[in-house]
Structure 1
Amino acid sequence: MVSQTNALPRIVITGLGVISPLGNESQALFDALQAGRSAVGPLTRVPTAPLPLSHGAEAREFTGAIGDYGPMEKPLQRTIRKGSKVMCREIEMGVAAAQLALVDAQLPADKRDPHRTGVIYGCDYIMTLPEEFAAGVQKCLDEDGQFQFEKWGEQGKPQVNPLWLLKYLPNMPASHIAIYNDLQGPNNSVTVREASAAAAMAEAYLTLQRGHSDVILVGSTGSRIHPFRTMHACMQEDLASDREDPTQMSRPFDADRDGGVLGEGAGAMILETLSHAEARGANILGEVVGYGSSAVAARVTDQFQRNALANVMRSALGQASAVGHIHAHGLGTVEGDIQEAAAIRDVFGQSIPPVVAAKSHFGNLGAGGGMVEAIASLMALQQGRLFPTLNYRTPDPRCDLPVTVDDQAPAGDSFLSMNVTPQGQAAAIRIAKFVP
C-alpha cells in the first residue's frame, strides 16, 4: 500500500480557453449548446463549387485580430501581432485559446515559475494553402500554360516565402505559446488527429504527476475547413450530405444520419498540481482523474474502432464503476456510430449513463474537437445539467444508447470524453468535480 507521503499529486483544472463555431468563451459555448444552437451553415472559407457539399461549422467570430487573444499587455500584443505573420489559422486559433486560458486561470507571469510551467498541445498535420506557391508556379508556366519543372529552382522557388513552412508545422502552437509567455518547462506536441486532445491531456496529467512541472498549459487545435483538407475529406471520409436546413446535417446516433460535418476550433486548459493551485488561491474548476489511449488497426479486426474505444474507456475508468455522463465521439457516420455504441455497451453493460455529443452542434473540429468537447462537459458539471444532442429524433436500434435530447438531464459528478480517428487511434479523459 502506498503511503500518503508518496501518493501521486492530484491534478486540477484552473483555467479554460476556447475558440469555437459557437463562440470564443466557455460560458458562451455552453449557453449555445444548452439553447440547442447549431453552428452549421454556408462555408465561406473554401470554394464550394467543385465540392459535393457547401456547409460546415466555421469559427466565424475568430478573425485573427489581436482582440481575439484576450486582454494582455501592449508588448505581448505587439509580439503576437508580429508573430501572426508566420501563423496559419489553425495555429492562430490554438495560440488564442491558450492566451484566453491563462487569463481565465488568473496566472500572469509574476504568479508562475517559467521553469516549472510547460505546454503540451495537440494538433492535426497542417496543410499549406495553395496561394503560398501560386507566384512560383506562375513563373514556371510556358506560353501554353504547362508547368516546366526545370524552371522551379531558379525562377519558381525564389517566389516562395522562405518562412512559409513555419506557418504550417504542427509543433508550432506549443512553440509559439511557450515563447510568447516564457514557459520554459516541458514542451510537447501530439498529432493523432481527433484523438490529439485527450492524448495531450493525458501527457500533461502524467508530466505533472511525475513532478516535472507544476503547471501545464494543455490544448489542441484543428480544422477540417481548408481548400486541400476539405477536398481530401470529401474524397476519403463519409460526410453528411447538404440538406435544405443545414443545421440538421449533423445527426450522431440518429437512424437518418449519413456522415460527419466539417468544422474548426481550438481549446485549452490550465492543469496544475493541487498544491500549486491552492498555494496561489486558484479557482479550481475540476480534477483530472483518469485517462486512456489505444490504437487498434483495421487489419486486426473489422471492429477496430469499437475495440480501441472500449480499451480507452476501461483505462480511463480505472477502479471507478460509473461516471455521470459520457461525451461521445459522435461523428455521425453510419458505421462509426455503430461501433462506438457497441464499445459503450461493452464497457457499461446495462448501466449506461447519459450520452451526449456536441458534434451535433458543430461537427468535427479535427484535433481541436476533443478539447472543446471536454470544456463543454466540464461546464455541464459546473452547471449541473447537460445540453441536448441535436437532431436525435429516430433512434437507431444498432446504436441503443441513452442519448440526451433536452437541457435538463443531470450532468453528474464526473464525465468521460473520448475520440477516435478513422485509423483506430483512440484516447479518453475522465474529469470529475473537485472535492477538497
Structure 2
Amino acid sequence: MAEVGNRRVVVTGYGCITPFGNTIEAFWDGVAAAQNGVALLQSLPTDALPTSYGAEATAFAGDIGEFGPLDKNQQRSIRKNLKVMCREIQMGVAAAQLALHHADLTSGKFDPERTGVVYGSDYMMTLPEEYAKGVMKCEAELAAHNFDHWATQGMPEINPLWLLKYLPNMPASHIAIFNDMRGPNNSLTLREASSNAAIGESFMTILRGHADVIVTGATGTRVHEMRSVHTVLQEQIASGESAGLCRPFDKNRNGMILGEGAGAMVLETAEHAEARGAKPLAEILGQGMSTVIDRSGASNRRLALVNAIRFALNEAQLSAADIGHINAHGLATPDSDQQEAAAIVDVFGDVEKQPPVVAVKSNVGNLGAAGGVVELIASLMAMDKKQFFPILNYETPDPECPVNLVRETIAASSGPVLNLNVTPQGQAAVVIASV
C-alpha cells in the first residue's frame, strides 16, 4: 500500500441521498432487496424527452431536517444559505453532514487546520426560471435577436447572487464553512469520474501528510430541466420497453437511466480515528486515473480503464487475483458496457478467472458525478454484511460482454473491492477499498 511513513487511510462515516431515501440504511435496504429505484418522473415535463422514467431522489426536498443532527449554529447557517444552493449543492451538503454525523466527527474532535474537503460534481446548469423575469422584460427585443437592452433592463431582474447557486466549487466551500474545516479544499468536475477522483485525491492528500481528515464525495444529477435535455442530445437514454429499466451488460440494453443523488465519506488516518475512539468502517488501499483520447477527440474507455485499474493495483501493491469483487460502471449503453467488459477481460482474464461483478446503476440509474461514491458505499456495506446484491434486469447474455455478473443474492467473497467509473470522454477513475 502507498504510504507516507506508516499512514493508513480509513473510512469512518458514510452519508448519501439516493432514489431509495436519505439514509444509508434506506439505500442498503433498496439495493439488498433488489429494488428498482426508477419510476415515472415527477419533477420534469417529459413531452420532449425519449423517456418518462428516471431515478429521482424524491425523499429529498431541501428541508433543514434532511441534513442530519446539527448544532444550533450549523442549523442557522445552513438554513440561511439554502437560498443560494441549487438542488445539487443542497444534496451534496446534506450527504456530507450525514457522513460527519455517522462518523461522530463534531467540532472539537478534529484540528480545523488539518481537516479539509475534496468534493466532486457535474458542471451545474441554471434553471430557466432564474432568467424568466429578465427575459420577459426584454421579450420583444430578444425575439428579434436584439440584445441592446439586456444589460440595462434584463440583467437587473436577475438575482445578484444567482451565480453562487450553480458554482461547482460551492459544495466543498459550504461544507468547509459550516464545519470550520480550514485544511485542503478542492473541487473536481469530471462527470461520472468525479467521485472516484475526489476519493483518490483525498486519499493522496492524507498520505502526503497535508491533512489528517478529509470529507469527500460528490453530488450530481441527470434529472434537471436543462441537464436532462443535454444528456438526451449527447448520450443514449433507455427507451421503448426498457424505458424504466437499466440493463448493464445485457444484450438488449439500449441506454442509461436518468438519476440524481449525492454521497459522502469521512476519510482520516488510522491514528486520528483511534485517538478519538472512532471505529474504521473500511480502508482505502489505492487509486488510479487515466484519460485516453486521440487527436480527433475520440475516446478509448477500454484503455483508460485498463490504465487506471493497473495504476490502482500497483499503488495498493495488489494483483488482479487479490480483488474480491468489482463494482462496474455499468452505464447500460452498448458501447460503454462493451468497452468496460473488454477492459475487465484485459486485466482479469475470462469469466472463470474474474471476481464477481456488481452494478449499482441497475438499481438507481446514472447519478452523474455522485455515482461512484454511492456505488462504493454499496460495495463496502455489502462486504461488511457479507452479502452481495444482484444486478437487475439482466436477461440475455451478450457475447461481447463476457463479465462474471452477480445474478442473485450470494455470500460476499473476501478481498477488496475495485470501484470503476469512466466518462464518454475517456476519463477513468478507480478506487480500491477493503473492510
Pick from 395, 398, 401: which aligns with 2:397? 395
- The question of whether the paired residues in 1 share the 8 Å contact of 2:62 and 2:90 is answered with yes
Going from structure 1 to structure 2, the CA distance change for 1:274 and 1:423 (only over 3 Å counts) comes to same
Q: Which moved more, 1:85-94 or 1:297-306?
A: 297-306
- 1:208 to 2:210 alignment: no
- Amino acid of the structure 2 residue aligned with 1:241: S
Residue number in structure 2 paired with 1:330: 330
Post-superposition offset of 1:242: 4.2
Residue number in structure 2 paired with 1:278: 274
1:268-417 equivalent positions in 2, closer than 5 A: 268-299=264-295, 304-318=300-314, 319-321=317-319, 322-350=322-350, 351-417=353-419
- 1:52 to 2:50 alignment: yes
Aligned residues: 428
Aligned with 1:314: secondary structure?
helix
- Amino acid of the structure 2 residue aligned with 1:397: P
Residue number in structure 2 paired with 1:111: 109
Structure 2 gaps of 5+ residues are none
Residue number in structure 2 paired with 1:89: 87
Aligned with 1:218: secondary structure?
strand
- The question of whether the paired residues in 2 share the 8 Å contact of 1:354 and 1:404 is answered with yes
Q: Distance in 2 between matches of 1:305 and 1:363?
A: 20
- The question of whether the paired residues in 2 share the 8 Å contact of 1:199 and 1:427 is answered with yes
1:40-189 equivalent positions in 2, closer than 5 A: 40-142=38-140, 146=144, 148-189=146-187
- The question of whether the paired residues in 2 share the 8 Å contact of 1:386 and 1:410 is answered with yes
Q: Distance in 2 between matches of 1:162 and 1:196?
A: 29
Pick from 232, 235, 245: which aligns with 1:234? 232
Q: Distance in 1 between matches of 2:208 and 2:376?
A: 23
Any idea what the Cα deviations from partners look like across 1:305-329, whole Å, max 9, x if unmatched? 0000111111111231221100000
- Amino acid of the structure 2 residue aligned with 1:327: N
Post-superposition offset of 1:25: 1.4
Residue number in structure 2 paired with 1:20: 18
TM-score, normalised with respect to structure 2: 0.95
Aligned with 1:426: secondary structure?
strand
Post-superposition offset of 1:299: 4.3
Post-superposition offset of 1:128: 0.4
Aligned with 1:399: secondary structure?
coil
RMSD: 1.7
> Percentage identity across aligned positions?
55
Q: Distance in 1 between matches of 2:166 and 2:296?
A: 33
TM-score, normalised with respect to structure 1: 0.95
Q: Which moved more, 1:187-196 or 1:45-54?
A: 45-54
Going from structure 1 to structure 2, the CA distance change for 1:115 and 1:48 (only over 3 Å counts) comes to same
- The question of whether the paired residues in 2 share the 8 Å contact of 1:14 and 1:277 is answered with yes
Q: Distance in 1 between matches of 2:235 and 2:250?
A: 19
- The question of whether the paired residues in 1 share the 8 Å contact of 2:298 and 2:425 is answered with no
- Amino acid of the structure 2 residue aligned with 1:124: D
- The question of whether the paired residues in 1 share the 8 Å contact of 2:15 and 2:98 is answered with yes
- The question of whether the paired residues in 1 share the 8 Å contact of 2:247 and 2:253 is answered with yes
Post-superposition offset of 1:142: 2.2
- Amino acid of the structure 1 residue aligned with 2:65: G
Going from structure 1 to structure 2, the CA distance change for 1:157 and 1:303 (only over 3 Å counts) comes to closer
- Amino acid of the structure 2 residue aligned with 1:283: K
Any idea what the Cα deviations from partners look like across 1:264-301, whole Å, max 9, x if unmatched? 01000000001101111101101000100000015489
- Amino acid of the structure 2 residue aligned with 1:363: G
- The question of whether the paired residues in 2 share the 8 Å contact of 1:380 and 1:411 is answered with no
Q: Distance in 2 between matches of 1:184 and 1:7?
A: 24
Aligned with 1:109: secondary structure?
coil
Post-superposition offset of 1:340: 0.3
Going from structure 1 to structure 2, the CA distance change for 1:202 and 1:153 (only over 3 Å counts) comes to same
Structure 1 gaps of 5+ residues are none
Q: Distance in 2 between matches of 1:13 and 1:283?
A: 9
Any idea what the Cα deviations from partners look like across 1:104-135, whole Å, max 9, x if unmatched? 00011011111111000001100000000010
Post-superposition offset of 1:74: 2.2
Q: Distance in 1 between matches of 2:253 and 2:301?
A: 18
Q: Distance in 2 between matches of 1:118 and 1:176?
A: 12
Structure 1 consecutive aligned stretches of length 4 or more whose deviation exceeds 4 Å: 143-147, 298-303
Post-superposition offset of 1:407: 1.3
